[in-house]
Structures are given as C-alpha cells and as structure tokens.
Copies of this chain bind each other. A is one copy, B any other.
Amino acid sequence: MASIAEIKQSEPVARASAIAEIRTLLGERLSTASAVREQHGKGEAYHRPVPPDAVAFVETTEEAAAVVKICARHKLAIVPFGTGTSLEGHTAALHGGICIDVTRMNKVLQVNASDLDVRVQPGVTRKQLNEHLRDTGLFFPIDPGADASLGGMAATRASGTNAVRYGTMRENVLSLEVVLADGSVIRTGRRARKSSAGYDLTRMFVGSEGTLGVITEVTLRLYGIPEATSVAMCAFPTVKQAVDTVIATIQSGVPVARIELADAVQMDAINRYSKLNLAVRPTLWLEFHGSEASVAEQAETVQAISADNGGGAFDWTTDPAERKRLWQARHDVAYAAKALRPGCSIWATDVCVPISRLADCIVETQKDLETASFPAPIVGHVGDGNFHLSFVLDTAKPEEVAEANRLNDRLVARALSMEGTCTGEHGVGYGKIDFLDQEHGPAMAVMRAIKTSLDPHNIMNPGKIVRV
C-alpha cells in the first residue's frame, strides 16, 4: 500500500451546486448516504478507502454525459465505478467529487454470432455475459477471478487465467464508447476486426482507469466454446522445473488455454482450507481447448515435457465434474490464504516479467519472504510471466503494514530489474502510482501530456496513474 501523497477535498460551493444539479437530473438515483459513499470509495484491496461526495447511479450514456458536464462546469472530480473489485485503490475518491456508478447500465445490447462479437453496457459482468451467451455456443474468455463489470475490466486492462491463449482486455476489446472530460461522447473504433485508420484510441482507453473518460459501452470479441476441454495438474520438485515446463510447452506451440502455478506455501494453505492432501510442492494446473483428438494430443505433449522436468504424476481429465474438482483448489486460493490467519486482511499485489526470468523472480521473492512476520502465498498466470503475492496481514499492526510495503517495494524493484512491469494485470490506481516513474522513465512525460490534453482540469479520477 502506497501512502496517499495526494488527497484533498472538493471545493464546498462547487460540490453543493453540482450535487443539486445532478439531483435535479437523477432524483433519488443520486445518493449522499454515508453507507453508499463508503462502499463506493473502496475496492477489494487493502488500500485506504476514500469516499466520494455523492454517488450517481446513471442508467444511460446521456445521463453519464450530463453528470460529467455538470462536474466539468464545477471542476469537480469524477470516479467511475463498476463492481468495486479492483485491487489498487482505483475507486478511492482522492479529490472527493462524484462517483458515477454504472451497474444499472447492465444490458447486453447486441450479440453478433457470425462476427464473434458482442456489444454490452459497461455494468454487465463477465458471468452475466457468459450466462447470456449460453445458448449461442460462444463465450467470453477473460476471467480475472472476480465477477467484475466489463466496463471495469476494460478500464483496468484486466486479464487472468485464460490470457495465455485468448489475450487480455487489450486484445479483446474491439471498440468503446467513452464520455470524455468535457462530456462529449466518442466511439473509439468500429466492429471490423482490424483497422489501420488512425491512432488506436481503443487501446488508449483500455487500461486508462477512468483517468481519461467514463466507459459507457464495450464491444468485445467472443470465441466458440471448444469442442473439448481437458485439465491437468502436476507437482514439481522446484519452481524452476515447473516454470521450465511452462516455457517448453509454449515454445513447442501447444496452444494451452491456461497454465497456473501455486507455490508450496499456497499448496499448504489449500490443503488446510479444503482438507485435501495435495503435494506441498510447486504445482501447475493446465487447461487445453480444442477437438477431442487435439486436447488429448496437447495433454500428451505436455506430460512428456513435464516428465523431462521432474514433474510428478500427471493427473488429467476431460470429464466436466473431474475438471471442476481439479480447478476447485486453484479457485480457492484467496479463501485458503485468508484462512491462514483468521481475521486478517489480504493485500494482493502482482508483477509480470519475461518468462525466462520468472523462476528467478519467484525464487528470490520466496527468499525475501522467508523471514516475513506473516504468510504470503504465491500464485501465478505463469504462461504470461505474471504472478501474485497475497500478504496475509493484521492491519491493526502498523509494523506489519510497513513490512508489507517494504516487501512490495522490493518485489517491484526485482521485477523491474528483470525487464518486467510493476503490475501485470491489477493496474496502478494509487497503490502503484509511485512506481511508474521508475518503470517508464521519460515516457511518463508522454502519459502526462495525454492526460493533460484530454483532461485539462484533472477531474477524471484524479491521483490515479499520472499525477498532474
């Protein structure tokens, strides 16, 4: 958790005027209730929440644009809000102002089955979308764990377990509708699969965390549900051997859909939480998508690679119930980590490095954690070189928080020294804003120039990504 270097209250007259105007527009859909404000000032991370002055529950793009126009006139800050599942303080209203909650904009607008794309409002969650698609034979693969809103996933450039095959939100957003800082509404692209017609505005807004505009519509790529799916699980003597298996798998061209790693600490936590008896060793989960023959062949290839790298018994199945059983342990990692210290909080952090450095990065991190006063299990989307640490903290103890800060700083420094990034998928928010100069150097001036040119009064989610 970074310190909040930048926190200030909104100007009282501007705030009162803006709230009055928005109330005229939205009636009871503008809330200043303390419980509502509190809930909207935080995410799922252990970062200090900061409530907005009011929460506007908009139902249309026009309403979102009208709210932005009012805020722009009064130079009041705006924080867009989906499901509140972000992990780096993205939704903390550091300058106060109005939270624009888009959860009521939750319609699937248009499924284009032939084109494998879909147009949704930003409050639609990924599970809601997949439920909606159930009878079409199509699915949306990006799975960050939480049942996040698709607008929020676009805003944070979310990814997750399927990214090694299907990419992240970066690759899967075809187009966005965005309300800019002056209340004007743009569309960043068209439904064509590719285009060379000008600057890539879609990619500029994907990952911009509400600092350049409010996302009011998302067009996404879809995929055919694979004919067959198989899942495998395998334990290794060392992290290096597990990671070498991953590298060889990807190099061999096996189109693996997921490759997930948990370290021994995490496996121990899973055993305790789920009353299992899994090997307390670095473990890979793998998932293969394709035809029946293809998934069998993929599993065989990886089994051979795994055996070459000291992998143990290779537990694999195509049976849906068995697949679910194998994945359950992976899905439970957060609960399992939390159960290690009842009453404690999880501070989740992530980094991403070139895969050739992944084993070193994890092993050095584990060494750094050996003397920590709290547990910190590791899981990773290792096909991408991305891994997560969960500090299981007693937040009542300032010394634990300070220690977690030091460990996090060293984790990021280690990843950066290996040509990696300070966050592979959680994003910047205000929790990682202090690392960006170190990561990007002079390129931060370009980010600052973009921010300033599109949001000259710094009203769009101020204090996130770039300080101006």
**Integer count of this chain's copies in the complex:** 2
Q: Which chain B residue has the least Cβ–Cβ distance from A200?
A: B203
A441 within 8 A of B: yes
Residue of B nearest to A250 (CB): B116
A363 contacts chain B at the CB level, 8 A cutoff? no
Contact between A192 and B428, CB atoms less than 8 A apart: no
Task: Say whether A35 faces chain B, with CB atoms less than 8 Å apart.
Answer: no
Chain B nearest CB, measured from A388 CB (Å): 13
Closest CB-CB distance, A163 to chain B, in whole Å? Answer: 7
Contact flag A159-B194 (CB < 8 Å), given A187-B443, A443-B187, A454-B446: yes
Interface stretch of the complex, out of A46-54, A221-229, A326-334, A397-405:
A221-229
CA distance A168 to B354 in the complex (A): 21
Return the CB mask of A115-141 against B: 1 if under 8 Å, else 0.
111000000000000000000010000
Q: A196, B354: Cβ atoms under 8 Å?
A: no
Task: Say if the beta carbon of A103 comes within 8 Å of chain B.
Answer: no
Give bound CA distance, A16 to B253, whole Å. 55
Bound-state CA distance A371–B286 (Å) is: 57
Interface size class of A (residues with CB under 8 A): 35 or more
Interface residues of A in 193-221 (CB under 8 A from B): 193-201, 203-204, 206-208, 212
B201 pairs with A447, CB closer than 8 A: yes
When distances are taken between beta carbons in the complex, the residues of chain B under 8 Å from A223 are 253
Whether A207 lies near B201 (C-beta < 8 A) is no
Check: A344 CB closer than 8 A to any chain B CB. Answer: no
Contact of A252 among B224, B301, B425 (CB under 8 A): B224
Chain B hits for A453, CB < 8 A? 449-450, 452-453
User: Contacting A226 at CB < 8 Å: which of B114, B224, B247, B253?
Assistant: B253
Q: Is A421 an interface residue (CB 8 A)?
A: yes
Query: For residues 411 through 468 of chain A, which have their beta carbon under 8 Å from a beta carbon of chain B?
Result: 415-416, 419-428, 432, 435-436, 439-447, 449-454, 465-466
Provide the residues of chain B in CB contact with A416, threshold 8 Å: 190
A384 at the interface (CB under 8 A from B): yes
13 contacts between A and B (CB under 8 A): A114-B247, A115-B355, A115-B385, A171-B171, A185-B442, A186-B442, A187-B441, A191-B419, A192-B385, A192-B415, A195-B421, A196-B424, A223-B253
Please report A residues at the B interface, Cβ cutoff 8 Å: 112-117, 137, 156-159, 163, 167-168, 170-171, 180, 184-201, 203-204, 206-208, 212, 223-224, 226-227, 247, 250-253, 255, 289-291, 293-294, 297, 301, 352-356, 384-386, 415-416, 419-428, 432, 435-436, 439-447, 449-454, 465-466
